[in-house]
Amino acid sequence: MLNAEVKRELTEILGSSYCKDDPQSLVTHSYDGTPMLQSLPELVIYPENTKQVSQVMKVLNHYKIPLIGRGSGTNLCGGTVPVEGGVVMVMHRMNQILEVDIENLTATVQPGLNTKKFSQHVEALGLFYPPDPSSMSISTLGGNIAECSGGLRGLKYGTTKDYVIGLEAVLANGEVIRTGGKLMKDVAGYDVTKLLVGSEGTLAIITEATLKLIPPPQYKKTMLAMYSDLYDAARTVSKIIESRMIPATLEFLDNATLQVVDDYAQLGLPREMEAILIIEQDGDKGSVERDIARITEICHSEQAKQVSVAGSLEEAEKLLTARRSAFTALARLKPTTILEDATVPRSKIADMVLEINRIAKKYNVQICTFGHAGDGNLHPTATTDVRDTDEIHRVEAAFAEIFEATIRLGGTITGEHGVGVVKAPFLEWKVGPAGIEIMKGIKHAFDPNNILNPGKIFAKESRKRVVIQRG
């Protein structure tokens, strides 16, 4: 239980209606989108401005109490689960668009702002903010920045980190720092802006962000390529990139995913196909038409059974919206869906798909695969039931082997979901012991008392990597 004195001090700063420790508030801030992970906080608070955040941090740093920042709690790595108790700070009240600067093509926002709302706001002004995580209709920009969210457009437009150019953040000791600015160039010292993006709430609390906007594409076209062989679809992906084309979106769905997505969205997708690719290109009309024609050719030469181009923007949008539901839709098969985001170099996508299928078979688990194939980022998803402990163990073993395969193919354990709790034991496989040490040093410099989102990124113990000798 939180010391009464701490609660009193925080209530004084925030007011009693924004400082809650009733069972209902604690239970509803004990989880996020991560399966099989729940831990109760001791207090839930809702600050109104940077000043309050700073005052709160001073109190918590003094008493050495954990603080977990939270947007809408949609992340998939356990990033906002208070695994060591403490205080959950919900950023929803700080949800304003402070400015859209048309002269500089930037926007300044508060962290609790909803991603989709922001995206639509700037689009109405004739501008474009590309990052589009699948949770964008729910998530907040602060959460996106903390996790460096990707999305369907990552392939061509990059991810959140490519659009954050300035930050205001509150440090563990309550000091407020400002990094970057409305600047397209800035090499004044270490790039703290980029360091904080994707730091998973472990280095500082982001209270304001300056985002880069770009002119929107003039034209876009979306197509669907259908395959009776998984490998053909995966090879198409590598072939498109090899042909020096970067589509805006290049998504892959296997048969199982396809079926559940269609159950949900009722789009009449080709349910008998082994895999489909959803491909979107944008830009000026001429080059889009040219690319779509060339991609169609590649699909056919890679044995696509059928290729069709969406008749309208509305139809295309429906297709992409359906794709965004894939992860949850898989819960129609079995109640627990455990999804990872293994990412490999784009040329290795077909190899990775084969590896995933081999491993699923080996451990006798169902793994459905979909994802942003174009940027090498796959989402192998195990459908299981948390109540079946034996199967859960096999799923865990399968994922450990998938991570191993990913690293072997030159990839990473997480492309866009973050390390959090879930992948902490595997981080060392990717960055090595020296990499872990330097990261710990950075953490210590920012947060010497380890109060910001403790228990994340760094595992108490790394998993031993078992390198499979094949052949």
Local structure of 47: helix, strand or coil: coil
User: Binding residues for other proteins, how many (CB under 8 A)?
Assistant: 42
| Residue whose C-alpha is closest to residue 98's, from 159, 141, 149 | 141
Q: How far apart are CA 232 and CA 223, in angstroms?
A: 17
| Residue whose C-alpha is closest to residue 453's, from 164, 167, 198, 175 | 198
Q: CA dihedral in degrees (50, 53, 55, 60; nearest 10)?
A: -160
Which span (23-31, 214-222, 432-440, 460-468) binds other proteins, by CB under 8 A?
23-31
Contact characters 135-174, other proteins, x per CB under 8 A: x-xx------------------------------------
Question: Taking the complex as a whole, how short is the minimal distance between the CB of residue 325 and other proteins, in angstroms?
Answer: 4
Question: Taking the complex as a whole, how short is the minimal distance between the CB of residue 330 and other proteins, in angstroms?
Answer: 8
* 351 in Cβ contact with 409 (< 8 Å): yes
Q: Does 383 bind other proteins (CB under 8 A)?
A: no
Instruction: Select from 385, 393, 410, 432 the one that contacts other proteins (CB under 8 A).
Output: 385
Measured from the CB atom, the residue of 149 and 337 that comes closer to other proteins is: 337
Instruction: Select from 264, 345, 357, 388 the one that contacts other proteins (CB under 8 A).
Output: 264
Judged by CB under 8 A, the chain residues 55 through 74 that form the site for other proteins are 72-74
Q: What count of Cα atoms within 13 Å lies in the side-chain half-sphere of residue 305? A: 12
Judged by CB under 8 A, the chain residues 85 through 104 that form the site for other proteins are 90, 92-93
Judged by CB under 8 A, the chain residues 24 through 43 that form the site for other proteins are 24-25, 27-35, 40
Three-state SS string over 75-120 comes to: CCCCCCCCCCCCEEEECCCCCCEEEEECCCCEEEECCCCEHHHHHH
Q: Does 449 bind other proteins (CB under 8 A)?
A: no
Q: Which residues make Cβ contacts (< 8 Å) with residue 327, sequence separation at least 6?
A: 76, 134, 337, 339, 379, 381
Cβ neighbours of 185 (radius 10 Å): 6
Question: Taking the complex as a whole, how short is the minimal distance between the CB of residue 109 and other proteins, in angstroms?
Answer: 16
Measured from the CB atom, the residue of 40 and 431 that comes closer to other proteins is: 40
Measured from the CB atom, the residue of 385 and 437 that comes closer to other proteins is: 385
Judged by CB under 8 A, the chain residues 202 through 221 that form the site for other proteins are none
Helix axes 389-408, 349-362, angle to 10 degrees: 150
- C-alpha distance from residue 440 to each of 53, 81, 224, 355, 436 (Å): 24, 21, 45, 32, 6
Q: Kindly list the residues in this chain that would bind other proteins in the complex (CB under 8 A).
A: 22-25, 27-35, 40, 72-74, 90, 92-93, 114, 116, 135, 137-138, 260-261, 263-264, 325-329, 331-332, 335-337, 385-387
